[in-house]
Structure 1
Amino acid sequence: MQYIYFKAFKPLFLFISALIIAGSAAAQTQPAATPTPAVAAAPGAQAHIDKFFKAYDKQSTARAVIEIFKTNKNIDSTRLTGLIVKIDSMRSIIGKYIGKDLIMQRKASNSLVLYSYLLKHELQPARITFMFYKPKNEWEIYRLYFDVDVDGELAESAKVTGKP
């Protein structure tokens, strides 16, 4: 009796099997997407980021933040001090800095770009996001965000919301 049951569904089984095999073959033949190098969006902004990370790793948070904000003459030093204190207090909790990974880069125009990095620390990941603006000829830091909720956002993105 089981043989008759299987025989009745054999065409459906073969069709589904063919779809699975065709799908996996197509997936294997398509070239993998390569991420756009960070330098392509704004080489000048990328140079500021590289300098920031060198100071963040080898010197101090204060040195890194102060250096990158030297590109923006309109910065409020009180807010800058608050940002340094916030980052330093988080760094003391999340452990030693190990490295970074580019999460994303976005280019709104030839004058506004955003780079977001995952910061790898011993105890917990963090995220730093740089937004650069080029009003004339030179890139300047426009916004800098630092947070430690990147893992929470990732977990939240995996939830089933019931929305299409």
Structure 2
Amino acid sequence: MQHAYFKAFKPLFFIISALILSAKASAQTQQAATAASPAAAPGVQTHIDKFFKAYDKQSTARAVIDIFKTNKNIDSTRLTGLIVKIDSMRSVIGKYMGKDLIVQRKASGSLVLYSYLVKHEVQPARITFMFYKPKNEWEIYRLYFDVDVDGELAESAKITGKP
């Protein structure tokens, strides 16, 4: 009798087993995906969004000045130099067309980096933000601007002769 009972429920047993294994695999895949990309630092994305809105709709100066208002220890002379550098490049590379996140890195819960491909009509640029949280609030720690992102990409495709 036990044999007949098992035969009747055998397909149901396999279906339940398959569902359990499938759910377990899905959970492991979600954990791996979460571990691969660092979680966004709350507050940082707000600063970045505000920066790009001003960069697009107002001016480089407004975008840079506003984001550096989060850091009370900034040297205004360096800020002026950064604004001049970005503005001079913007005049050559054309109108701002949008942005794409290149990479996001987290050194700890207090130091994060976000790097963006900044799309312009003529040529791409890159803006990299580094944020630091010494106490409770995120502040801009470093801001880098360069137009060599395409050169780095081409360099990464070279054969180096190493296995």
- TM norm structure 2: 0.77
Distance 1:147 1:160 in 2: 25
Partner in structure 2 of residue 150 of structure 1: 149
SS of 2:49's partner is helix
Partner in structure 1 of residue 67 of structure 2: 68
Q: Deviations over 1:88-110 (max 9, x none)?
A: 00000000000000000000000
In structure 2, what residue type is equivalent to 1:47?
Answer: T
CA contact (8 A) 2:38 2:105 kept: no
Distance 1:131 1:41 in 2: 13
Q: Deviations over 1:129-159 (max 9, x none)?
A: 0000000000000000000000000000000
Distance 1:57 1:35 in 2: 32
CA contact (8 A) 2:102 2:116 kept: yes
SS of 1:153's partner is helix
Partner in structure 2 of residue 79 of structure 1: 78
In structure 1, what residue type is equivalent to 2:82?
Answer: L
Distance 1:35 1:103 in 2: 17
Structure 2 unaligned runs (5+)? 1-28
CA contact (8 A) 1:119 1:126 kept: yes
Partner in structure 2 of residue 111 of structure 1: 110
CA contact (8 A) 2:127 2:145 kept: yes
Alignment coverage as a number of residue pairs: 133
Which stretch shifts more, 38-47 or 134-143? 38-47
Partner in structure 2 of residue 96 of structure 1: 95
For residue 40 of structure 1, report the CA deviation from its aligned partner.
2.8
Return closer, same or farther for 1:35/1:80 CA change in 2, 3 Å cut-off: farther
Structure 1 unaligned runs (5+)? 1-29
RMSD: 2.1
CA contact (8 A) 2:51 2:67 kept: yes
Distance 1:104 1:35 in 2: 15
SS of 2:70's partner is coil
For residue 41 of structure 1, report the CA deviation from its aligned partner.
2.4
Partner in structure 1 of residue 45 of structure 2: 46
Distance 1:160 1:142 in 2: 36
Return closer, same or farther for 1:78/1:156 CA change in 2, 3 Å cut-off: same
For residue 80 of structure 1, report the CA deviation from its aligned partner.
0.2
Return closer, same or farther for 1:35/1:120 CA change in 2, 3 Å cut-off: farther
Return closer, same or farther for 1:84/1:39 CA change in 2, 3 Å cut-off: farther
Identity rate of aligned residues, in percent? 87
CA contact (8 A) 1:39 1:46 kept: no
